[in-house]
Amino acid sequence: GQRSSESPKNSNESFAIVSFKWDHVKEPYIIVLWILVASLAKIVFHLSHKVTRVVPESALLIVLGLFLGGIVWAADHLASFSLTPTVFFFYLLPPIVLDAGYFMPNRLFFGNLGSILLYAVIGTIWNAATTGLSLYGVYLTGIMGELQSGLLDFLLFGSLIAAVDPVAVLAVFEEVHVNEVLFIIVFGESLLNDAVTVVLYNVFDSFVAIGPTNVTGIECLKGIVSFFVVSLGGTLVGIFFAFLLSLVSRFTKHVRIIEPGFVFIISYLSYLTAEMLSLSAILAITFCGICCQKYVTANISEQSSTTVRYTMKMLASGAETIIFMFLGISAVDPDIWDWNTAFILLTLLFISVYRVIGVIIQTWILNRYRTVQLEIIDQVVMSYGGLRGAVAFALVALLDEHKVRERKLFVSTTIIVVFFTVIFQGLTIKPLVQWLKVKKTEHREPKLNEKLHGRAFDHILSAIEDISGQIGHHYLRDKWSNFDRKYLRKILMRRSAQKSRDQILNVFHELNLKDAISYVAEGERRGSLAFIRSPSTDNMVNVDFSTPLPSTVESSVSYLLREKAGPVCLDMQALEQRRKSIRDTEDTLAHHTLQQYLYKPRQEHKHLYSRHEIMHSEDDKQDKEIFHRTMRKRLESFKSTKLGINHSKKLNKIHKRDRGQKRRNSSVIPNGNIPSENPVQDFALKEKDLEFSESEENNDYETLHLGKGVDFLANVTKQNFSDSPAGIDNPVFSADDDQSIYMKFSPWLSGEDTVVPSQRARVQLPYSPDNFKRLTPIRLSNKSTDSFLLADGPEDRPRSFLPESTHM
């Protein structure tokens, strides 16, 4: 900043061109600066993998906070920054909890709800009571020296130090990857124990205020009642707002841009409302997230969903970072420190020991009722993973000095406890988990079979439950999903979203999409990708069904999927059209995703394609290599499907047209078997591909490749057919025929009885590339889209893929 150019003594008599207005921006500036520092710290931490693998981020942040606090202190001798309860409870905690709730695996959560509730409620009460009472007991023996606390103060302290902290648990367990059941129990406990913590804290706080003598049975009873009110009330508030949010998201079709905003605003409102009514705000926002996730994700557009996801993660992560850093900073404040060795050490001892005891007892009880038993190892992890964190700190900071005389001691102890659990336990839990060989999560790709069988199980088990006359887990779940389907969905989900979206279908859709994308990406890489176009406008399928063989039609999954279930479609036009249909969102996604891969760079210089000339260029060589490989691979997989033998006919029927935006010198137009409606102008290609044989690969490949408009698959098929050991001579590919067939190799086309390995299975074929160099997918010119749209002219116009027509 610059001072004003004039030098006013008291007042600025003249106009100051620039001025330094620190006070003006001070507050937001400092806040933003701290956020920036925290974020930069994160970057720095992650620069070193070695460090982050061993030390949990939270620990690093605390240390950083201590360091920074030290600097500020040294500079100013004044602890100006600290984690204030208000900021914590209003701004930092909600995003984290919302993130947890919104992404909570519901099935797992509700499946283990019994256990979670037991640990959360009984466990916390147990911890609080035993810790408080023990500390009091020890106090009475005098070891701690003189403290101005009574039983109630100890109980109050016990209640705030007893609760397992969701922020800390998340931060540490995220890096540890224990199996999901274990994780959900510990994490669920940390979330749901808020109700207990809030109640206990408030009860004891007010007891301390009114004085020990006035605590009567009535008060205790009120305390117990308030527990139920607070917890159930908070949950109901959450559910109410979830309902509201889902309902709102149903109507946001025309305001897509602010859709994500609603999620955050309404969830936050649930938090604040619960807080206002002195109910459990954490429970409220948790259940808001849990209940709304299904409907909101179904209703809002794909982009909004992504936005919500990323924003939530960003906010949560940012908040977590700031919390830990400020925990460190706040510790550097001599004012708050009051050291009492016995107290501190005993607290640490008691919380650990009592947690272990509590876990063991509860698990013993639970195991009599659980189908999946919790073993010793799980119990060890659960006890060890009971971390205390910022919630405890914020609660203790809220204590009133006048009511609770030993506030300073409590604050210091809490800080030590939090640091100990987060740093020490956080550091050692990973090696512990490894040493104990705790079962880890398995990250597997979703297999269709698993989903299917999982579904079968659900039904079987519910049937068994029905038959054997139990009211079991599955029975309940069934009832719930029926209720949901009949009523809730109709109210809360958009009409378009109500249909379809069976889970199995989702997986199937995903897998197919993956297949398609990888297929396309590969083709792109190999530098030859043809687009599969549909010959008829009205059909909008990229398969021609004007020919008979209804079985073909039926068995063509791609067709069916497109029409009914979900798009696996490389057909740009179809995608375009469908964008206007009800499933616009998913189609747009597919469209965009595929679009990324389907465009190739325009190469303007290679116009002429000559059969006899081999143009040597770097690219060509690469392409040739890749082409080789692709062909070989396709060939192998192709052969294994016996397509040549039974299904040649079917394949003939399927043809796609190349909408050539590649420089189509050599491209052909499809039209398999059907007497061509389009005179094919296939100069180079026809000769090439037809003489195809493995030995001649080289020549053909490169020439073909130069064409760059070839569907390598098509060539493979041709090759296959011409080479087929069964000697099937596919008329389509007879030497004179000047047509080539573009065929997407759809495994499902194989028809009734053969099973063809999936795309992915085939891709996993090992092969040894010779000079494998990847072509990086390059974007086309900006106008690529246009070519597609423009190209969708009258379908039966013969496509002459002369260079000009490929201009985009």
Partner 1 sequence: PGVPQGSAPVTSLLSLAVTSEQIEHLHRRFKQLSQDQLTIRKENFDSIPDLEFNPIRGKIVHAFFDKRNLRQESDGLAEEINFEDFLTIMSYFRPIEMNMDEEQLDRFRKEKLKFLFHMYDSDHDGKITLQEYRNVVEELLSGNPHLEKESARSIADGAMMEAASICVGQMGPDQVYEGITFEDFLKMWQGIDIETKMHVRFLNVDTIAHCY
Which residues inside 619-648 make contact with partner 1, applying CB under 8 A? 636, 639-642
Minimum CB distance to partner 1 smaller for 550 or for 794? 550
Closest distance of CB 194 from partner 1, Å: 29
Placement of tokens 């959450």 in the chain: 238
DSSP per position, 65-124: HHHHHHHHHHHHSS------HHHIIIIIHHHHHHHHHHT--HHHHHHTHHHHHIIIIIIH
Placement of tokens 């995703």 in the chain: 593
Closest distance of CB 226 from partner 1, Å: 31
Please report whether residue 787 would count as binding partner 1 according to CB under 8 A. Answer: no
Number of residues this chain uses to bind partner 1 (CB under 8 A):
71
Closest distance of CB 507 from partner 1, Å: 9
Minimum CB distance to partner 1 smaller for 39 or for 754? 754
Minimum CB distance to partner 1 smaller for 143 or for 645? 645
Closest distance of CB 746 from partner 1, Å: 10
Q: Which residues of 23-50 are buried (b: 16+ CB within 10 A; e: fewer)?
A: eeeeeeeeeeebeebbeebbeebeeeee
Chain residues 152-191 in contact with partner 1, contact rule CB under 8 A: none
Q: Which of 550, 755, 768, 804 binds partner 1 (CB under 8 A)?
A: 755
**Which of 318, 324, 334 has its CA nearest to residue 70?**
334
Chain residues 74-103 in contact with partner 1, contact rule CB under 8 A: none
3-class secondary structure for 593-633? HHHHHHCCCCCCCCCCCCCCCCCCCHHHHHHHHHHHHHHHH
Please report whether residue 581 would count as binding partner 1 according to CB under 8 A. Answer: no
User: Which among 234-242, 383-391, 729-737, 748-756 is the span making contact with partner 1, rule CB under 8 A?
Assistant: 748-756
Which phi and psi angles does 538 have, rounded to 5°?
Answer: -75, -30
Binding mask 486-505 for partner 1 (x = CB under 8 A): ------------xxx-x-xx
CB-CB contact of 36 with 44 (8 Å)? no
Closest distance of CB 568 from partner 1, Å: 9
3-class secondary structure for 654-687? CCCECCCCCCCCCCCCCCCCCCCCCCCCCHHHHH
707: buried, middle or exposed (CB in 10 Å: 19+, 13-18, 0-12)? Answer: buried
**Any bridge partners for residue 533, and if so which?**
657
**CA-derived radius of gyration, the chain:** 34
Please report whether residue 73 would count as binding partner 1 according to CB under 8 A. Answer: no
DSSP per position, 441-504: P---PPPHHHHHHHHHHHHHHHHHHHHTT---HHHHHHHHHHHIIIIIHHHHS-HHHHSS--HH
Q: Which of 495, 564, 607, 779 binds partner 1 (CB under 8 A)?
A: 564
Q: Which of 466, 510, 576, 729 binds partner 1 (CB under 8 A)?
A: 466
Q: Which of 217, 469, 675, 794 binds partner 1 (CB under 8 A)?
A: 469
Chain residues 384-423 in contact with partner 1, contact rule CB under 8 A: none
Chain residues 707-726 in contact with partner 1, contact rule CB under 8 A: 725
Minimum CB distance to partner 1 smaller for 462 or for 667? 462
Please report whether residue 760 would count as binding partner 1 according to CB under 8 A. Answer: yes
**Which of 658, 509, 507 has its CA nearest to residue 589?**
509
Please report whether residue 107 would count as binding partner 1 according to CB under 8 A. Answer: no
Which phi and psi angles does 178 have, rounded to 5°?
Answer: -85, 175
CB-CB contact of 621 with 771 (8 Å)? yes
Closest distance of CB 754 from partner 1, Å: 5
Minimum CB distance to partner 1 smaller for 583 or for 600? 583
Chain residues 361-380 in contact with partner 1, contact rule CB under 8 A: 369, 371-373
Closest distance of CB 362 from partner 1, Å: 18
Q: Which of 44, 54, 143, 464 binds partner 1 (CB under 8 A)?
A: 464
CA distances from 101 to 105, 188, 267, 762 (A): 9, 10, 10, 39
Q: Which of 329, 756, 780, 791 binds partner 1 (CB under 8 A)?
A: 756
Binding mask 505-544 for partner 1 (x = CB under 8 A): x--x--xx--------------------------------
Closest distance of CB 451 from partner 1, Å: 9
Please report whether residue 482 would count as binding partner 1 according to CB under 8 A. Answer: yes
3-class secondary structure, 533: strand
